[in-house]
Amino acid sequence: MKTLFERLDAAIIARKSLVCVGLDPDPARMAIPDVLQFNKAIVGATKHAAAAYKLQLAFYEALGLPGIKAMAETAKYIQDTAPGAVVIADCKRADIGPVAAAYARAMFEVWGFDAATIVAYMGADTVEPWLQYPDRGIYIVCRSSNAGAKDLQDLRVRQGDHERRVFEWVADASSRWGMAGQNVGIVVGATYPEEMTTLRSAHPDLPFLIPGVGAQGGDADAASRAAANTDGRGFIINSSRGIIYASKNPAHFARAAREECERLRDQINAALASIGTQKT
């Protein structure tokens, strides 16, 4: 049985792409009103150039039961029509053991996601239930992409002779809690490339999920160079609004999404080639 990140790495190699497409449906911005049909069109147009898809659950929950139904059907559609692509639930769940176990069952057994994002603020026992699925995985929020990340994540904490920023302690703990490169990765925002460089240097085997490119101002070139491991991979860069809302024209939005996905794929690959690490 392959681990989550072995499957993701295979998808990256097969598609020669480190792009993750974020499917975040906003009725005010969608080219067509039907969420499922919108998502199907985006997936159909990008499945050759996307190694993963990330569904931000808040957007589906905000639409009530029809949104939840569209979420479940979108996840299944990706698995049926884009074989090998990893499907991530961006849910950022966080709670104590029994509740975390229920969250993990929901994401992995009920909805069938391959991976989920979680927050580990309450410690190891909130992470452990997610690790009971050998073919699934989690990304622990470490260095988020928002401007307010500095409010808490930059605080310096001393333990014994060691002093590190909070996000560095989170990365250290993430490496201990799981099997780095197999079932645990971390979320690191593209808006903080210097911190990303620090984290990659300290944790060469941790997979990175990188949000914040495009609308949030993150730079794909800088993020790619900072995040690459010795194989020239070890990360995926997510783009949501920049891809799925590339056009609001009902006749052309899927084509525009394909072009933006390919553009991001090529930009990442060019950045890696420029530093001699591209091996996809």
CA 225/CA 259 separation, integer angstroms: 23
| Residue 163: other Cβ atoms inside 10 A | 11
CA 37/CA 19 separation, integer angstroms: 22
Terminal C-alpha separation, the chain: 22
DSSP, collapsed to helix, strand or coil, labels residue 234 as coil
State both tokens at 280. 């996809």
* Catalytic residue of the set 16, 69, 92, 150: 92
CA 31/CA 46 separation, integer angstroms: 16
**Annotated catalytic residue 279:** no
Count H helices and E strands in the chain, helices first. Answer: 12, 10
Element (H, E) at 49: none
Q: Is the CB of residue 45 less than 8 Å from the CB of residue 257?
A: yes
Active site residues: 92
